[in-house]
Structure 1
Amino acid sequence: MADFLGMMKQAAQLQSKMQAMQEELGNIEVEGISGGGMVSVRMTAKMDVKAVKIDPSLMKPEEREVLEDLLVSAHSDARRKAEVAMQEKMQSLAGGLGLPPGLLGGFGS
């Protein structure tokens, strides 16, 4: 019975820490860049896009397709960085609870 109570306590701690981590992920921002800095996308580690910056030289009708491609590329770059930030937070959470590596891998994805 003591083992079960210990597991329940650990599960409650995990839930509390997961909630705190979700809040932290909303405060972590990353920036994805493409076109040598001509386009940037800023987002949180929770994948919420916060800002998009576009160099004025791309604001021409003949540059539309280039701009579209650069936006997709900058967003993808930001998303990869956000995923890395999320994984790092998950690893620190798992390490703080003494859980085996990879146990929290499915959360937040």
Structure 2
Amino acid sequence: MTQNPFGEGGFDLGAMLEQAQQMQQQLLDAQAQLGSRTVTGSSGGVTVTLTGTGELTNVEFAPGSVPGDEDSLTDLGDLVVAAFRDAKGKADAMASDTLGPLTGGLGGPGGALGGPVV
């Protein structure tokens, strides 16, 4: 008689699927937690704010760091954020197009395994 390589109970596909679903939920929960947190970085009078998932949410210029009035600098910060989001969306789409066939649509940007969603 041949011995079962998966042990006495055999291969439990249901348990494996349940574990995969739990891992997916943990990834989604962690992603949501990161998305709700922010970090800031600054250099030369410019401060940027990112979410924990890397989304640029704000750009501020310290008074006197860049020539211009306060309203113009606020508008410039908004334009930088918009340009970043446009480029990030294009980069995510490019990654999805490139990696999608390799991952079967799983795990890439915004994929079913909880990839970054922008």
Higher RCO, 1 vs 2 (CA within 8 Å, ≥6 residues apart): 1
Greater helix content: 1
TM-score with structure 1 length normalisation?
A: 0.49
TM-score by length of 2: 0.45
Q: Which has the larger radius of gyration?
A: 2
